[in-house]
Amino acid sequence: MGFATSLLGCRHGRVLLLATSPDKVLTSLFVCDLVTDGHIQLVIPVEFTGVSINGTVLCAAGNEEGHVHGACHWSPFKVVLVAVSRNGGRPMACAYSSETGLWGNIIRHDRPGMFIDSDHSSTLIAHAIYWKIMSFGTEEVEEDMLEFDFDRQTLTVIKGLPGEGFDQSRIIRVLDDHMGIATLSYPTSHLRVWHWNANGGRDGVATWVLAKTVDLQSIFGLQEHETLPLSPRRDSILGYDEDDGVIFIHVQPLLLEVMEIKG
């Protein structure tokens, strides 16, 4: 029987694929360049086998001045994997460098009871990568964010928005390379942009701040009694363009570019 292949992420002209055997014992990563048809196979660290994982690929040049991403097919790259431990569900991350051909040290977080959301791709903001991560509390499941900082080599869990008032969310980059969230409410069709204020307000506590609300019905010229035909499967947020700050929303039967995030 063949291996099942899933797409973990794509960025800077490369694609990261995960191949898993039917018994989920054997897993491999493939970094592919769709322009040159080149690819490389990576062996996954043993700690990341047999568990649900997510990951991404990116150019090692980062945001160096004068470097053009997408045209760097022969430049060094990095791969980052995230997962939770088998015992306790504690987040962990590990980065691979094509320059050394080695995986780095595994970075761990001590918060238990978490589960990696492998269905959502990552978001690169400045020198950090963000994923959604599920937190299993005593009463309900919460949606938090997992931050891997390249410069500091740290793994941080950021408290997510309260689960009320929206159906879908996407981690995005807002002004000044800060982390934010775009939420979509159904059937009210409101797209809201939130900023993460890490420094906190007057009380010094980090919190989410609502920065913008967009009425999608008015954008598409709908009357008050009309409803925007969003996907009934609650998968209307199809993707996010990190470079241009554009969110793509599935509106039946068309794929429409909804808005450019500027704050």
What is the rounded distance in angstroms from the CA atom of residue 261 to the CA atom of residue 263? 6
pLDDT (0 to 100) of residue 223: 66
Task: Give domain limits for the chain.
Answer: 1-160, 164-263
pLDDT of residue 72: 65
Low-confidence ranges of the chain (pLDDT < 70): 1-2, 24-26, 62-74, 137-139, 163-167, 187, 201-202, 220-235, 252-263
Please state, in angstroms and rounded to a whole number, the distance separating the CA atoms of residues 175 and 132.
20
> What was the pLDDT predicted at 75?
81
Return the pLDDT at 257.
47
pTM of the model: 0.86
pLDDT at res. 255: 45
Phi, psi for residue 246 in degrees, rounded to 5: -115, 135
CATH 2.120.10.10 is the classification of domain 1-160: yes
Q: Distance between CA atoms of 127 and 153, rounded to whole angstroms?
A: 10
Give residue 222's pLDDT.
66
Q: Is residue 202 within 8 Å of residue 208, measured between CB atoms?
A: no
Please state, as a whole number, how many other Cβ atoms lie within 10 Å of the Cβ of residue 196: 22
pLDDT in tens, 116-129: 877 788 999 999 99
Residues 13-26 have pLDDT tens digits of 899 999 887 776 66
